[in-house]
Structure 1
Amino acid sequence: MAEKIQFTRNYSDLSTDKGYQFEFYCDRCGTGFRTRFKASVLGAVSTALDTVGGILGGIFGRAADVGEKARSVAWEKAHDEAFVEAMEELRPDFVQCPRCSSWVCRKSCWNQKKGLCKECAPDLGVEMAAAQASRTVEEVWAHSKVAEEDREMLQEKSWREGVRATCPKCEAPLSGKVKFCPECGARIQEKAHCTQCGAALDPKAKFCPECGASRKT
């Protein structure tokens, strides 16, 4: 009976007085496998005694009570035997992972090539496909976000000017958006753009050379 401890957390007992039936579950995906129903001979005898005792009473009633006590012991023994048979029936559908000790279904959650469950040794082909799909979704959202930012920039009255990291004359590092270099005093040129078409503008230009829009608008 030591085999019974192999399935102590992932099964349901569906047995009744009429017979025995069990359902075992995969620890990883939760898929259930139900055994065939096995009728109980003791259950049929007990039902007959209960019926006779209810009709005739007296000695037959006492016989039914004795039969119930005997049945409870015999039923438990038959139940244990049925449980072992159920494990043997479904054993080909389950395998225990040597790494995490989980009982998993052989069909969906067992990596035959690695000899481990797919929680410990995922299917690389499936993982690669999932990673590619996830990456594609990220790129779609990234492109969508950039497009929204571009539309917002085109609607702004003035373009956001870039920030230089070093002075164009002495190449000294700049701490932020400054107009003059703190080392040599050179003016940091800030590019201007047309608010209508986005074309680069000469610092002294009053109108856009591309679309003719006024720089002040």
Structure 2
Amino acid sequence: MSNEIYFANNYRDLCEQHGTGAGFQFEFSCWRCHDTWRSAFEPYTSGRVAGWADRVVGSAWGAFGRTGSEATSALGGLVGANWGPAKDAAFQKSIEDAKVHFNRCGRCTNYVCGRCWNAAQGLCLNCAPDTAAEALAAQQRGLNDAVSQRAYETGSAQAASFDTGQRRQLVCPQCSTETHGARFCPGCGHRLAQADHCSSCNAEVPQGAAFCPDCGTRR
């Protein structure tokens, strides 16, 4: 048997070693679209028997005592010893089954599902995209780019009427409402981006200042 490992990165281990649900199952995923396929569940009989024995001895500890505990410990050791080889065999079988549902791209070497496979080229759709789909996507990109350019030109034409020197506040200092550059706050009506002026010299006074920076008059 070959030691080569397939699906090294795109599978998930769903195996359970102990309990009534002990068994082997693996989930494989398409590298491109991430859709998944699960192998058939294969029970691990030894793990189920050990789980059953633990419950029996646990409920009858007084009757069996140390002897029963040693028996279940020995059985548990046997389960652990058999687990690795049994899991490897189950994994190998699931890989062989998964190969029917996935294709390996000859260019990027990734495994993809049938919907992501260009059978005519023997490549995945990332390496060999569908021609009709690419043409439609290119048409849409061309339309979007052209509309974006026209919208940009419209905005550029409107720039002449936009007062770039006007002061604006995007958040009201009184109630913290977003203003979107309006002259008055839509939340409380506070007049925005208007500097205070000194009552004595009419100089501009910074917001929060207690005295006029030009003449020293107290506000």
- The equivalent position to 1:27 in structure 2, one of 18, 27, 31, is 31
Q: Give the Cα separation in 2 of the matches to 1:22 and 1:98.
A: 24
**2:14 is equivalent to residue 14 of structure 1:** yes
**2:128 is equivalent to residue 121 of structure 1:** yes
Aligned pairs for 1:1-217 within 5 A: 1-2=1-2, 5-17=5-17, 18-54=22-58, 55=60, 56-107=64-115, 109-152=116-159
Shift of 1:80: 1.5
Matched position secondary structure for 1:113: coil
Structure 1 residues 102, 122: CA separation in 2 closer, same or farther (over 3 Å shift)? same
Runs of 4+ residues deviating >3 angstroms: 148-153
Shift of 1:152: 5.0
Shift of 1:103: 1.2
| Identity rate, percent | 33
Q: Give the Cα separation in 2 of the matches to 1:4 and 1:82.
A: 15
Q: What letter is aligned with 2:107?
A: R
Q: Give the Cα separation in 1 of the matches to 2:33 and 2:3.
A: 23
Matched position secondary structure for 1:6: coil
Shift of 1:62: 0.7
Contact 1:53 1:63 in 2 (8 A): no
Contact 1:94 1:106 in 2 (8 A): yes
Q: What value does the CA root-mean-square deviation take over the aligned residues? A: 2.1
Q: What letter is aligned with 1:43?
A: G
Q: Deviations over 1:156-191 (max 9, x none)?
A: 9xxxxxxxxxxxxxxxxxxxxxxxxxxxxxxxxxxx
Q: What letter is aligned with 2:41?
A: F
- For structure 1, the 5+ residue unaligned runs are 157-217
Q: Give the Cα separation in 2 of the matches to 1:61 and 1:53.
A: 7
Structure 1 residues 149, 28: CA separation in 2 closer, same or farther (over 3 Å shift)? same
Shift of 1:48: 2.0
Q: What letter is aligned with 2:16?
A: T
Q: What letter is aligned with 1:81?
A: A
Contact 1:96 1:104 in 2 (8 A): yes
Matched position secondary structure for 2:49: helix
The count of residues paired between Structure 1 and Structure 2 equals: 154
Q: Give the Cα separation in 2 of the matches to 1:119 and 1:149.
A: 38
Structure with bigger gyration radius: 1
Q: What letter is aligned with 1:25?
A: S
Q: Deviations over 1:112-155 (max 9, x none)?
A: 111111121111111111111111111111122223344556x6
**Normalized against structure 2, the TM-score is what?**
0.63
Shift of 1:4: 6.0
Shift of 1:23: 0.7
Shift of 1:25: 1.4
Structure 1 residues 149, 7: CA separation in 2 closer, same or farther (over 3 Å shift)? closer
Q: What letter is aligned with 2:83?
A: W
